[in-house]
Structure 1
């Protein structure tokens, strides 16, 4: 899931125009320029039924938008929301 989410974000011109390739899980590398996205897995649970695991995962990911100014971070946040709001698929 992590790779797919990162690829989705990096495949969106509205986002890459702002951050380039700087979309990372866990932390933003020290010394790298801003703006950037930092993704953190908040929860990751396996789906269960009365018969056992159902083969599905339910995960929550927090996306932090880092930039040199509030306005720049807000533009990045809006681009991420526009991409992900209502998104369905792989």
Structure 2
């Protein structure tokens, strides 16, 4: 799922997409992803599907850059089903609230993603 999600989002947004956190000096806008939680749904006959909570952070030098990246992510991923992904549902959206003018701006999206391994 991780590789599939990265390829899917990289093709849909106009900025780099990566797992983990960005390094100092990377260009923005940037989309970073991290797994917040995950669990397997077992059945009597198989190991079943996985469901993970994936946080997708959209970063920008300005709030507008971060918001545009978040809209691109939402457009492709909200309600998505295909490849290893059975379903993707947006469960939360948050904005950063830094008062530091030099800080990067962030829009965080949390998706519940059900997928096959």
Q: Same fold (TM over 0.5)?
A: yes
Which of structures 1 and 2 has the larger relative contact order (alpha carbons within 8 angstroms, sep 6+)?
2
Counterpart position of 2:38: 44
Structure 1 gap segments, 5+ residues each: none
- Across the two proteins, how many residue pairs are aligned to each other? 83
With the length of structure 1 as denominator, give the TM-score of the two structures.
0.83
**Any unmatched runs of 5+ in structure 2?**
84-117
Higher relative strand content: 2
Q: Which runs of 4+ in 1 moved over 2 A?
A: 51-55
Name the CA distance, whole Å, in 1 between partners of 2:46 and 2:32: 30
Normalised by the length of structure 2, the TM-score is 0.65
Deviation at 1:71, TM superposition (A): 1.0
- 2:8 corresponds to: 8
SS in 2 for 1:55: coil
What is the alpha-carbon root mean square deviation over aligned residues? 1.4
Q: Which structure features the higher share of helix residues?
A: 1
